[in-house]
Amino acid sequence: MGMIALGLRNLLRNKLRLVLVGILIGVPFFLLLAMYSIGDAVQRQTAVLTENVNTVLQLRARGSMGHVNMVGQDRILPRDVLEKVRGIEHVEHVEPYLLAMAPITPPNFVMHVGLAPTAVKRLESHGEAGNPRIIAGRDLTPEDAGQDVAIIGQGYAQWAGIKPEHMGTAMLTVDPTRTHPVIFGMDRPTRELRIVGMYASGYIFGDLQLFLPIDTFRSIYGTDQGISWLFVKVDSVGNVPFVAQRLREIVGDVADILVPESAAVFTATTSRRVTQFAGAGGLLAFALMVIVVFFVLLMTVRERAREIGTLRAIGASNGGVTAQFLTEAVALSLLGGALGLLLFRALGAMATGRLFTLGIGPFLPSHYKPLFESLTVSNQVSASVVLLILIVAVLAALIGSAYGIWRAVRLSPIEAMKHE
Amino acid sequence: MNRAAPLIELRGVSKFYRKGGESIDAIADLTLELPEKGMVAIVGPSGSGKSTLLHIIGAMDRPTRGEVIVAGQLLNGLSQGELTRFRRRTVGFVFQTFNLIPNLTAVENVSLPMEFNGVAKSDRVKHAKALLERFQLGHRFKHRPSELSGGEMQRVAIARAIANEPRLVLADEPTGNLDSKTGALIYELLKQISRERTVLVVTHAEGLAAMADRALHLQDGRIAA
């Protein structure tokens, strides 16, 4: 019966208290894991956005928004631009898009976007910043090329009366004849598209789009040639100026070349702020753990003063008493960590988003909030999460128990002689 | 006449406490020699200094003045760590409230001091069981204190006190929480183990003190008779 084993057995003396203390430590652990996952999700999102933003150039027909059905904006990029751009050194790949505006309840508009099924789903007017995530159904796949299928933004879906549970069965009618003062009424037949997925972009206008395979788009709108937007992915940020220069030389006569950076700057700034808030939340959770361990250990030492005195009287060393209480503290913290992890597995994905919205959202500039409200946080338990729990549990135990252990070690064996 | 060196020597030992700005003499200039082996009862009214004397002899408290020598070791200059080692090897304690560790079995409680003393597990379990059998507790090896009677708990505590074969056993009111019949039994046990070592018993019970080889009557920190 070593002192470490004695410390472990002491935990089981009062099972109700063990559970209560476990929960008291587990809840801050849950909070810590939630903050960690928020920080991780934001950083991952930032990395994706940065990758998609800082190395991407956008081409549109000169002086045009490139929408195939907008009055006075009907000029689109000639199709041969695609081949010219592909031939430029350091261009990794190109993504052609076709766009058509459609009125819903005037004066609002939705945007129909034709794209290669696996291309990045870029959002009109924030094409460089958009990061839509599928929230119901599925994404487009290569097999969808040329099929009458689409994925829909949650705002558009709401207007059309399509619910998330209808994915795969809901139908949406695309009517090119519908008009608005600034839109051509195109004399084309309507088409029924099957909605296979729903996305959320985090901001209202971004949620008013419909993504469909580009061949399907061409067939609906009768646009056999041309491209609304051409996104050019460069192999590295350093080569962007070179590619931009080559684009100006090769297709500058027909295309405006946009180098979108503002979104990346915004994303990095916002990401930094969110990470800072998440870090502060994590520190708060850690402080709560330390406080719980602190009071539990202090209470334990007070309750067991006579027992500690007895151990001291019969020859327990300072190291032995320290080992016993440290074992208890570490085991309690680890138990809390395990409970926190279970909570996180059970509620993490659902509660973390709420936690983010309620706890961090209010501190963000109002116009950035929606972007992160649809933040997809993971409740997966990776090796780094387990390592985080182990390190935090041991640290909280060490810091929280230090004073209690100091008190225990200083207890005189005379305590053992005190009568009730 | 026993001419061997005494086990316990106190030379001019005093212990003062300050309480509310007032100095209290718990022990006053006490000089005393107690031999190896035998049972010594320390008796006296509350506040006479009995417990303080026990603490000082048991290396749990330091005197304000004077020298304390136990088993040839001058305790005054020892560090806390050295005092711990000294207690571990030389002194066994029996408490009024038994002070067994509640979540350990009888065998584990008796083994504990041996573990602190570095005895191998198999040896300490074997020795603990032998001691418990010696005190008619062979059927209680795996019982926890809450499953034992008062007399059984005190017998486990006595077994624990002598587990490391100390030369000195200190018992603080060992029968204070027991009925008279069980108390007499415990005294008999202490008397029995005092044939191999010195047993110092603090007690209020004059009748039990009469069973000791020697009784020290304390009054206001001084030996009265």
Find chain B residues with C-beta within 8 A of A311's C-beta.
101, 112
Q: Which two tokens stand for residue A38?
A: 């928020």
What totals of helices (H) and strands (E) does chain A contain, helices first? 11, 10
- Asked if A419 has any chain B CB less than 8 Å from its own CB, the reply is yes
Compute CA A396 distance to the chain's CA centroid, rounded to the nearest angstrom: 28
Subunit contact B99:A420, Cβ cutoff 8 A: no
CA-based nearest residue to B70, from B47, B87, B49, B46: B87
What totals of helices (H) and strands (E) does chain B contain, helices first? 7, 10
The chain A residue lying nearest B101, using CA atoms, is: A307
Q: Are strands A209-213 and A149-153 parallel, antiparallel or unpaired?
A: antiparallel
Subunit contact A412:B61, Cβ cutoff 8 A: yes
Phi (first) and psi of residue A338, to 5 degrees: -65, -45
Query: Across residues A384-402, what is the average pLDDT?
Result: 85
The chain B residue lying nearest A317, using CA atoms, is: B84
Q: Residue A270 has what pLDDT?
A: 67
The chain B residue lying nearest A410, using CA atoms, is: B80
Q: Are strands A191-200 and A56-61 parallel, antiparallel or unpaired?
A: unpaired
Subunit contact B111:A9, Cβ cutoff 8 A: no
- Asked if B63 has any chain A CB less than 8 Å from its own CB, the reply is no
- Asked if B140 has any chain A CB less than 8 Å from its own CB, the reply is no
Query: What is the rounded distance in angstroms from the CA atom of residue A364 to the CA atom of residue A372?
Result: 10
List, in sequence order, the alpha helices (H) in A260-368: 262-303, 305-313, 318-355
- Asked if B124 has any chain A CB less than 8 Å from its own CB, the reply is no
Nearest to B84 among A10, A12, A317 (CB): A317
| Spatial contact of B196 and B38, defined as CB atoms under 8 Å apart | no
| Spatial contact of A231 and A56, defined as CB atoms under 8 Å apart | yes
Q: How far is CA A81 from CA A215, A225, A226, A254, A284, in A?
A: 18, 11, 9, 9, 55
- Tens of pLDDT, residues A46-81: 676 666 667 888 888 887 777 777 765 557 888 888
Residues of chain B with pLDDT under 50: 1-2
Nearest to B103 among A13, A317, A413 (CB): A13
Q: Is the dihedral of CA B138, B140, B145, B146 positive or negative?
A: negative
The SS3 call for residue B215 is strand
Query: What is the rounded distance in angstroms from the CA atom of residue B100 to the CA atom of residue A311?
Result: 10
Closest-CA distance, A2 to chain B, in angstroms, reads 8
Residue A258: in which H helix or E strand, if any? strand A255-258
- Asked if B84 has any chain A CB less than 8 Å from its own CB, the reply is yes
Closest-CA distance, B172 to chain A, in angstroms, reads 7
Query: What is the rounded distance in angstroms from the CA atom of residue B51 to the CA atom of residue A184?
Result: 105
Is residue A107 over pLDDT 70?
A: no
Q: Residue A267 has what pLDDT?
A: 61
- Tens of pLDDT, residues A134-149: 899 999 999 999 999 9
Closest-CA distance, A403 to chain B, in angstroms, reads 20
Q: Which two tokens stand for residue B41?
A: 């009862």
Percent with pLDDT over 70 in chain A: 83
Q: Which two tokens stand for residue A376?
A: 């997809």
Query: What is the rounded distance in angstroms from the CA atom of residue B49 to the CA atom of residue B13?
Result: 12
Query: What is the rounded distance in angstroms from the CA atom of residue B187 to the CA atom of residue B180?
Result: 10
Query: Across residues A203-208, what is the average pLDDT?
Result: 81
Is residue A184 over pLDDT 60?
A: yes
CA-based nearest residue to A96, from A246, A217, A193: A217
The chain B residue lying nearest A413, using CA atoms, is: B60
Subunit contact B102:A310, Cβ cutoff 8 A: no
CA dihedral defined by A59, A60, A66, A68, rounded to 10 degrees? -70
Closest-CA distance, A392 to chain B, in angstroms, reads 29
Listing DSSP states for B132-188 in one string gives HHHTT-GGGTT--GGGS-HHHHHHHHHHHHTTT--SEEEEESTTTTS-HHHHHHHHH
Subunit contact B160:A314, Cβ cutoff 8 A: yes
- Tens of pLDDT, residues B42-69: 998 888 888 889 999 999 888 999 999 9
Residue owning tokens 């304000």 = B64
Find chain B residues with C-beta within 8 A of A319's C-beta.
none
Q: Residue B143 has what pLDDT?
A: 95
Average pLDDT, chain A: 82
| Spatial contact of A229 and A97, defined as CB atoms under 8 Å apart | yes
- Tens of pLDDT, residues A406-415: 888 888 788 7
The SS3 call for residue B30 is strand
Query: What is the rounded distance in angstroms from the CA atom of residue A257 to the CA atom of residue A236?
Result: 17
Query: What is the rounded distance in angstroms from the CA atom of residue B8 to the CA atom of residue A225?
Result: 111
Average pLDDT, chain B: 89
Query: What is the rounded distance in angstroms from the CA atom of residue B141 to the CA atom of residue B125?
Result: 10
| Spatial contact of B89 and B164, defined as CB atoms under 8 Å apart | yes
A–B: how many Cβ contacts below 8 A? 79
| Spatial contact of A11 and A328, defined as CB atoms under 8 Å apart | yes
Closest-CA distance, B3 to chain A, in angstroms, reads 31
Q: Residue B2 has what pLDDT?
A: 47
List, in sequence order, the alpha helices (H) in A55-93: 80-86
ipTM of the shown complex: 0.89
Q: Are strands A56-61 and A255-258 parallel, antiparallel or unpaired?
A: antiparallel
CA angle in degrees (0–180, nearest 5) for A172-A178-A183? 120
- Asked if B211 has any chain A CB less than 8 Å from its own CB, the reply is no
Query: Across residues A325-354, what is the average pLDDT?
Result: 85
Q: Residue B220 has what pLDDT?
A: 85
Nearest to B172 among A311, A320, A417 (CB): A417
- Asked if B80 has any chain A CB less than 8 Å from its own CB, the reply is yes
Subunit contact A306:B104, Cβ cutoff 8 A: no
**For residue A326, how many C-alpha atoms fall within 13 Å in the half-sphere facing its CB?**
15
- Tens of pLDDT, residues A226-246: 888 898 999 887 788 899 999
CA angle in degrees (0–180, nearest 5) for B70-B73-B78? 110
Subunit contact A315:B111, Cβ cutoff 8 A: no
**For residue A101, how many C-alpha atoms fall within 13 Å in the half-sphere facing its CB?**
24
Nearest to B111 among A1, A306, A310 (CB): A1
CA-based nearest residue to A392, from A31, A13, A12: A31
Determine which of A4, A9, A314, A410 to mutate to test the interface with B (most B C-beta atoms within 10 Å).
A314
Establish whether the linkage from the previous residue to A370 is cis, with ω within 30° of 0.
no
The chain B residue lying nearest A7, using CA atoms, is: B103
| Spatial contact of A372 and A356, defined as CB atoms under 8 Å apart | yes
Find chain A residues with C-beta within 8 A of B172's C-beta.
417
End-to-end CA distance of chain A: 28
Query: Across residues A340-358, what is the average pLDDT?
Result: 78
Subunit contact B116:A10, Cβ cutoff 8 A: no
